[in-house]
């Protein structure tokens, strides 16, 4: 009887030891997996915003130059279409006709062009042609009118896709842009664009002469 009791106690103790080892091994395994997962996650690099580079600057100049040339034709060559059936003559003897379609007032025209050029550049360039004595454009009776005596012809043919980006940062870049002038002479222009509140605008635009 005593021997049977000793054998039973021995079996219970052995079972308890085996159960404890199994639990310890399971816990150890789970801890190891968790450590490995944390280690793997820490090796994943954090995403960083890509710096503005030459490729992006070339994309911007490809969009800016055609628009800039359109405004050059508007402000320097008076190329907006007009309703020539209506003609006004101002105190200086210049004839004006209402602009058709695109812009209803001078303010609308200015608001549009100021998305693409800095105000400082416009004041020293395009806006000089709005001087009251010979204004290429002005509002008459609340309607945008064009000086039809100031019209001129010609165009520059630009190749912005062949531009050379000479300096670039997140805030500004410079480029040399090739074009062919009205006399079919190959030339280049130096352009500086700046980032104003997320909009890229031309701050300098110097055509080779």
Q: What is the pLDDT of residue 16?
A: 45
Length of the chain, in residues: 209
Worst-scoring range by mean pLDDT, 19-23, 53-57, 98-102, 143-147? 19-23
Angle at which helices 54-77 and 106-113 cross, to 10° = 160
Q: What is the pTM of this model?
A: 0.75
Could you read off the pLDDT of 48-80 as tens digits, one per residue? 567 899 999 999 999 999 999 999 999 999 999
Alpha-carbon span 65 to 165, nearest angstrom:
14
Q: What is the pLDDT of residue 36?
A: 47
What beta strand segments (E) does the chain contain? 88-89, 95-98, 137-140, 143-147, 157-158, 164-168, 172-180, 186-196, 199-207
Q: What is the pLDDT of residue 43?
A: 52
pLDDT (average), residues 150-179: 96
The phi and psi torsions of 162 (rounded to 5 degrees) equal -100, 15
Please, which pLDDT band fits residue 8 given cuts at 50, 70 and 90?
very low
Q: Which residue has the tokens 């628009």?
A: 67
For residue 60, give the nearest of 197, 206, 202 by alpha carbon: 202
Q: Which residue has the tokens 């009251």?
A: 132
pLDDT (average), residues 183-206: 97
Alpha-carbon span 209 to 11, nearest angstrom:
105
Contact 200, 60 (CB under 8 A): yes
For residue 209, give the nearest of 156, 144, 132 by alpha carbon: 156
Q: What is the pLDDT of residue 49?
A: 65
Assigned token pair, 103 = 């812009």
Contact 178, 163 (CB under 8 A): yes
Q: What is the pLDDT of residue 209?
A: 73
Could you read off the pLDDT of 104-114 as tens digits, one per residue? 999 999 999 99
- Residue ranges of domains in the chain, CATH in brackets: 54-207 (3.10.450.420)
């Amino acid at each position: 009887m005593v021997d049977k009791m000793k054998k039973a106690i021995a079996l219970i103790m052995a079972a308890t030891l085996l159960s404890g080892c199994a639990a310890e091994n399971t816990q150890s395994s789970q801890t190891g997996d968790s450590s490995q997962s944390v280690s793997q996650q820490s090796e994943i690099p954090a995403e960083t915003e890509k710096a503005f580079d030459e490729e992006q600057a070339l994309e911007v100049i490809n969009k800016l130059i055609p628009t800039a040339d359109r405004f050059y034709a508007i402000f320097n060559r008076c190329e907006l279409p007009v309703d020539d059936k209506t003609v006004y003559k101002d105190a200086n003897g210049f004839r004006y006709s209402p602009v058709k379609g695109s812009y209803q007032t001078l303010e609308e025209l200015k608001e549009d062009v100021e998305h693409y050029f800095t105000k400082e550049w416009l004041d020293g360039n395009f806006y000089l042609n709005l001087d009251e004595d010979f204004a290429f454009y002005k509002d008459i009776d609340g309607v945008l009118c064009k000086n039809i005596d100031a019209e001129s012809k010609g165009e520059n043919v630009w190749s912005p896709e062949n531009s050379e980006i000479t300096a670039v940062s997140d805030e500004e870049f410079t480029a040399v842009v090739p074009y062919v002038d009205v006399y079919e002479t190959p030339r280049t222009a130096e352009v500086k664009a700046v980032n104003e509140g997320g909009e890229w605008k031309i701050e300098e635009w110097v055509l080779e002469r």
